[in-house]
């Protein structure tokens, strides 16, 4: 199974990039045609980061290690660390509490600044898995950068699940909860199934497996927005 996953990784990453571009287009259409709501706009911005991530990784089968590839790869981490905090205001707007909007945006901007610093200071090194070359986080990455990245990867997921359960019960819309649940599921699958049998960290597939969770997260955020729009129209 692992050999099949590695063999098909490059084309699947290219398909992911196309799907992320389609999600971006759908969120733009939803933002444009339905009163310029904030959630489609923010989810669309998240799609830009996911699209870029999948695009650069898919091009890893063609690009050669060097300054240009490293610069493009460093931008992956900058975008990831600065865009993930947008999940905070997305959750805030789903809860429809105007009093929380300004405080949540204040926290979000502060976390985005920290994320920007973490993304810029992330140390990366060449790692090749199958036909895919990429720059991955180095083992010498500063501890404070690792700490910020771990918080950004974990806290928003549980926030979506917890808040999603409340909204599911209140509004019969399970999609926010499902967005967080699938992100958590594929992160855990990446941890347990992505490890190299020989213990070689450079051959871990966690980065790849977790990307399926990111795509499903965006899909269910889109579905949440669509379901909310349909409820308003009823």
Q: Domains plus CATH for the chain? A: 2-228 (1.20.1070.10)
Rounded CA-CA distance 222/120 in Å is: 30
Q: Which has the closest alpha carbon to 84: 166, 182, 151?
A: 151
Q: What is the largest CA-CA distance in the chain?
A: 56
How many whole angstroms separate alpha carbon 222 and alpha carbon 205? 27
Nearest to 61 by CA among 17, 31, 23: 17
**What phi and psi, each to the nearest 5 degrees, are found at residue 174?**
-90, 0
What is the pTM assigned to this prediction?
A: 0.89
Q: What residues have CB less than 8 Å from 119, skipping those under 6 apart?
A: 74, 77, 78, 79, 80, 81, 82
Give all strands (DSSP E) within 43-161, no chain letters. Answer: 124-129, 132-137
DSSP 126-145: EEEETTEEEEEE-TT--HHH
Q: Mind listing the pLDDT tens digit for each residue in 37-83? A: 888 899 999 999 999 999 999 888 788 899 999 999 999 999 999 99
pLDDT tens digits, one per residue of 88-146: 999 888 877 788 889 999 999 999 999 999 999 999 999 888 888 899 999 899 999 99
Q: Which of 230, 90, 98 is nearest to 171 (CA)?
A: 230
């Amino acid at each position: 199974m692992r050999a099949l996953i590695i063999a098909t990784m490059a084309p699947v990453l290219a398909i992911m990039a196309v799907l992320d571009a389609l999600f971006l287009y759908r969120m733009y259409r939803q933002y444009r045609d339905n009163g310029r709501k904030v959630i489609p706009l923010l989810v669309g911005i998240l799609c830009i980061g996911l699209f870029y991530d999948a695009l650069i990784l898919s091009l890893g089968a063609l690009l050669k290690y060097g300054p240009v590839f490293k610069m493009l790869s460093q931008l992956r981490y900058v975008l990831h660390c600065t865009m993930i905090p947008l999940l905070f205001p997305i959750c805030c707007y789903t809860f429809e509490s105007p009093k929380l909007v300004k405080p949540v945006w204040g926290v979000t901007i502060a976390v985005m600044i920290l994320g920007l610093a973490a993304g810029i200071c992330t140390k990366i090194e060449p790692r090749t898995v199958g036909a895919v070359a990429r720059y991955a986080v180095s083992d010498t990455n500063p501890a404070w950068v690792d700490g910020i990245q771990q918080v950004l990867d974990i806290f928003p997921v549980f926030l979506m699940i917890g808040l999603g359960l409340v909204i599911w019960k209140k509004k019969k819309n399970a999609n926010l909860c499902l967005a967080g649940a699938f992100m958590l599921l594929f992160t855990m699958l990446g941890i347990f199934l992505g490890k190299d049998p020989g213990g070689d960290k450079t051959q871990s597939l966690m980065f790849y497996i977790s990307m399926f969770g990111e795509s499903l997260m965006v899909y269910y955020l889109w579905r949440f927005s669509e379901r909310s729009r349909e409820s308003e129209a009823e």
